[in-house]
Chain A
Amino acid sequence: MRVTTASPSWLRPLKGAGPATACLALGAVAQVATLLLLVFAGGPVGVVAATPVLTPIQRARLHACLDLEIPPPPKTGGDTYKERVLHWLQAGSSWRQVGYHLIAAPLIALAGLLALALWAASAAAVTVLLWRLGVGPQSWFPLTGGIGRQVLLTVVGVVGLYLAATLSKALVRLDTRAASACLGPSRADQLARRVAEVSESRAGVVDAADAERRRIERDLHDGAQQRLVSMAVNLGVAKATLPDLPEHARKVIDEAHREAKEAIEELNNLVRGLHPAVLDDRGLDAALSGIAERAPLPVRVKVDLPQRQSPAVEAVAYFVVSEALANVVKHAHAAQAEVSVERIGDTILICVSDDGVGGADLAAGSGLAGLAKRVASIDGTLSVNSPVGGPTLVSVELPCAR
C-alpha cells in the first residue's frame, strides 16, 4: 500500500537537484580559498598547511546541503606543537585530505561550474517566450525572428534543465564519495574505533553486572541475613530462659531454632558466592580461603600475586574459583582439590584441579560453559583438561595490567 503521494513522474528527475546545486555552488566558492592559497600563499604547501581548516569547512558544506555526516578524521596526538605537526604529517589520513583539497575538490568544482552554467542557460532558454513578451522583438539573436525559434529554444531549455539536474546530482554523488573516502576515517580506522566502542561498552556491562552482585550481597547482608540471625538468637534466648515449657512447645522452639540456623547457613553460602566484601577490601588472596573452607572436601589454596588486580579481574577470578569448586563438589567425586593463582607476565593463571573421576565437558552444561562466558567477558580464556577417569584441571588465563 502506498501512502505517500509521489511527485509527478515528469518532475522526478529534478528531485534533489536543488540541494545538489547548492552544494556544487558552495563547493565552487570554497575553491576560491584553495585558489588564493595556491597563487598567493605558498602553492601546494599552503594547501597542505591549511588542510586542518579546509577539511571542517568541506564537512560542514556537505552536512548543510546534503545532511551527510562524515565522521572527523582520526586525531593525531602529540605533546608539543612540533610533535603534533610531525604526527599529522606522518598520518595517512592527512594526505588523503590533502588529495581531496588539491585534486578532487577543484576538479569537481570545475565540473560544478559547468553544471551551474548549464542551469543558467537552460533557465534563460525556457523563459525566452516571457522575455519576448516583456521586451518585444530585439536585435539579440534568440529574440529575433519568428515565434517558432523561441518555441524551439524553450524545448531545448527544458532538455537543458533535465541535463543540468542529472549532471548536478551525478557530480554531488562523486563529491560525496570522494569526501567520504578522503575526509573521514579510513575503513580500518572506523573498525578500530568501533572495536574500541564495543570493548568499552562491554566493560561497562561487566562492571554493571559486578555492581549489581555487590548490591544484592549488600541488601541481603543488611536485610534477610540480619533478620534470620536475630530470629535465631531470639529462639536461642527463648530456649535458654524458658526452662519450664511444656514438652511440645520446647520441641517446636527447638525445631524453629534449628531451621533458622540452617537457613542462615544456606543463605550465607549463596551470598558468599556472589561477591564477598573481603574481596573489595583485601583482595583475591584473602577472599579465596573462604570459598575453599566452605567446600566439603579438603582444598589447598596457593595465591601468588604481587599486587591487587582491577576489580573486574578480581571478581571474575573469584567467580571462577567459586564455580569450579562447586563443580568439583557436584560432579567430580574427588577426595581433594587444589587452587593456585599466579601471575605470569601479563596474564593471571588460575588452576583448579581435583583427583576426581574426570569427564568434565565444556559443552555438557556442567556450569563450565557459563564460566567460559564470564571469563571471555574480560578477554580471558578457559580450558578444561578432564580425561574420563580423571584427574581434572580447569585452567583460566585472565589478562592483567602490569
Chain B
Amino acid sequence: MRAVIAEDSVLLRIGLVKVLEIAGFEVVAEAADAEGLLTAVEQHEPDLVLSDVRMPPGFTDEGVRASLLIRQRWPDMAILLLSQYVEERYAADLLSGNISGVGYLLKQRVADVDEFVEVLRRVAAGGTALDPQVVSQLLVRRHSDPLDRLTAREREVLELMAQGRSNAGIAERLVVSESAVGKHINSILSKLDLPRADADHRRVLAVLRFLGVS
C-alpha cells in the first residue's frame, strides 16, 4: 500500500516514515504543507494519507481542510489526521458524511508503535479511528440523557466503540471475552435506541451520530 505524508516538522516526518514502513506502507511522497499535500495526492493517488492538522501558512486547521477536499474528490482514499491537540469540532467536520477510512489522533499516539500500526491498517482498510480524547470531548457535550442509564462498564465500551475499535479490539483492551463485549454492546444499543448493525463502520456511525457528530 502506498502512503503520502504531510507534516511540517522534519524530525517528526522522519519518524512517521519509519513507522509507516514498519506497518508495511510505501511512502511515495512527503509534503510540508497543505498545498504540497494536495499536489502529492493528485500526482500519486495513494491508498492512505497521513497528515498533520496544523501546518503553514496559517497554523490552524489546514490539514482538516485539505482532508475535506481530498475526500470530496477521492471518497475512497483513507485519511489519518494527526494533531498536537485534538478538537471534537474538527472531528465533526472530518466525519460529516462518509466516516469510513477516517482517523483523527493525537500525535503522541504514534509513539505507541504497535497500536499505531494497527490503527494505520484499520483506517487503510476502511475503518475508523478516533482519539479517546475526542470521544471524551464529545461526551462533555451531552446533557442529562440516556448516557446516564449506562453502567460504568457500558460507558467504557461505548467510548471504545466510538474510537472505532472492533469487538475483538475492545475485548483485548478491557481484557474480557469477545462474547462479553457483544453482550455489553447489545445492552448499550438497546438503552440508547440505536439500530443494530453488523458492519463495524455502520455501528461506529450510529454511535457517533448519537454523540452529536455529523
Contact = CB atoms under 8 A, between A and B. Distances in A.
Interface in A242-298: 257, 260-261, 264-265, 268, 272, 276-278, 280-282, 286-287, 289-290, 292-293
A240 to B, nearest CB: 4
Given A232-B108, A237-B22, A239-B113, A276 B141 contact: no
Contacts of B59: 218, 221, 277
B22 A240 contact: yes
A292 B137 contact: yes
Interface bracket on B: 35 or more
A222 B54 CA distance: 10
A238 B128 CA distance: 27
Contact of A293 (B12, B19, B136): B136
A286 B89 contact: yes
Interface string B49-84: 000001000011100000000000000000000001
Q: Top 6 A-B pairs ranked by shortest CB distance?
A: A232-B111, A233-B15, A286-B89, A230-B11, A240-B113, A226-B9
Nearest to A258: B111
A352 B31 CA distance: 43
A281 B65 CA distance: 12
Interface of B: 9, 11-12, 14-16, 18-19, 22, 54, 59-61, 84-85, 87-90, 107-108, 110-114, 116-117, 133, 136-138, 140-143
Contacts of A234: 15, 18
A278 B87 contact: yes
12 contacts: A222-B9, A226-B12, A229-B12, A230-B14, A233-B110, A233-B113, A237-B15, A237-B18, A240-B22, A278-B60, A278-B90, A289-B141
Given A226-B9, A234-B15, A240-B22, A293 B133 contact: yes
B13 to A, nearest CB: 9
Nearest to A272: B85
A229 B110 contact: yes
Interface stretch (A11-19, A158-166, A299-307): A299-307
B178 to A, nearest CB: 26
Interface bracket on A: 35 or more
A261 B108 contact: yes
Contacts of A230: 9, 11-12, 14-15
Q: Is the interface of B mostly helix, strand, loop or mixed?
A: helix
Contacts of A260: 111
Interface string A88-125: 00000000000000000000000000000000000000
A289 B140 contact: yes
Contacts of B112: 236
A300 B113 CA distance: 33
Nearest to A226: B9
Given A230-B14, A233-B19, A277-B59, A225 B88 contact: no
Given A226-B11, A237-B19, A276-B85, A301 B111 contact: no
B11 A290 contact: no
A229 B10 CA distance: 12
Contacts of A233: 12, 15-16, 18-19, 110-111, 113
Interface string A201-235: 00000000000000000100110011101101111
A286 B87 contact: yes
Given A233-B16, A236-B112, A277 B137 contact: no
A241 B116 CA distance: 14
Given A218-B59, A277-B59, A293-B136, A236 B113 contact: yes
Contact of A241 (B22, B87, B89): B22
Nearest to A227: B11
A230 B18 CA distance: 11
B84 A268 contact: yes
B111 A300 contact: no
Contacts of B140: 289, 292-293, 299-301
Contacts of B138: 289
B111 A280 contact: no
Contacts of B15: 230, 233-234, 237
